[in-house]
Amino acid sequence: MDVAFIDIDMPEMDGITLAKRLKLNNPRINIIFATGFREYTGEAIDLRASGYLMKPITPEKVKEELENLRHPLPKRTARKRVRFQCFGNFEVFIDRMPVRFRYDKTREILAFLVDHRAPCDNRQIISALWGKDVSGSYFRTLRKDLLDTFRQAGCEDIFVQQWGRLGIVPEKVSCDFYDWMAGRPEALNAYLGKYMSQYEWAELTNAWLEKRESRL
């Protein structure tokens, strides 16, 4: 808790006592008192309260107090809507819900982009996934399925699109592989020897991960 609004005139426990208890647990909590009696002002000052609202309270008064807090609020990191699971089988989630594509091969194209992290040439993707040429119309259908799926969910900004190239913007997604690469503590134990297990081309990265893991 970063901000607490306390009514000093509470019937069971007076607000000053409650504020003292909150301050013991969190010395940097912003306490904003609300009351209809001015005689409590001195006690509020002694507690180094962040603000003091006289009743009747209006939205404008609350807004002014929140804009002038004694202790700055910690910056909140926006939750990333798209999450990729690379360790084990490759899975995709938007708002914690599994993503379903029209074609199974669409998911594999996405996995390849996640694995490479940088924009990939269309020919590079085709060579890795098919090992030979496929019709341009088929590949464009899969690419359209991929982009349309994320566009409909309002998440198309996770892609960087260039002429004949497509890539993931790592900073806009959550990914266990990316977290492991960044050395984040919560991800270091997530790798258990399997990486995008359903794709043969991912064995190269898996071997690299095993080698890195053995050095840790």
CB 193 within 8 A of CB 86: no
The full length of the chain comes to 216
**Structure tokens of 173?**
């997604």
CB 157 within 8 A of CB 82: no
Angle at 105 between CA 141 and CA 182, to 5 degrees: 110
Rounded mean pLDDT of 159-165?
Answer: 90
What pLDDT score was predicted for residue 3? 79
Residue with tokens 């940097």: 28
pLDDT in tens, 87-141: 999 999 999 999 999 999 999 999 999 999 889 999 999 999 998 777 889 999 9
CB 9 within 8 A of CB 40: no
Q: What is the DSSP letter of 27?
A: T
The domains located in the chain, with CATH, are 3-66 (3.40.50.2300), 82-215 (1.10.10.10)
What pLDDT score was predicted for residue 36? 75
pLDDT in tens, 29-76: 888 888 777 665 566 666 777 878 888 888 888 888 888 888 887 665
Average pLDDT, the chain: 85
Higher pLDDT, 216 or 48: 48
Angle at 8 between CA 40 and CA 68, to 5 degrees: 80
The dihedral region occupied by 127, where left means phi > 0, alpha psi between -120 and 50, and beta the remainder, is alpha
CA 216 to chain centre: 27
**Confidence check: pLDDT of 205 > 90:** yes
Q: pLDDT band for position 81 (50/70/90)? A: very high
Give how far Cα 60 sits from Cα of 53, 64, 70, Å: 11, 6, 18
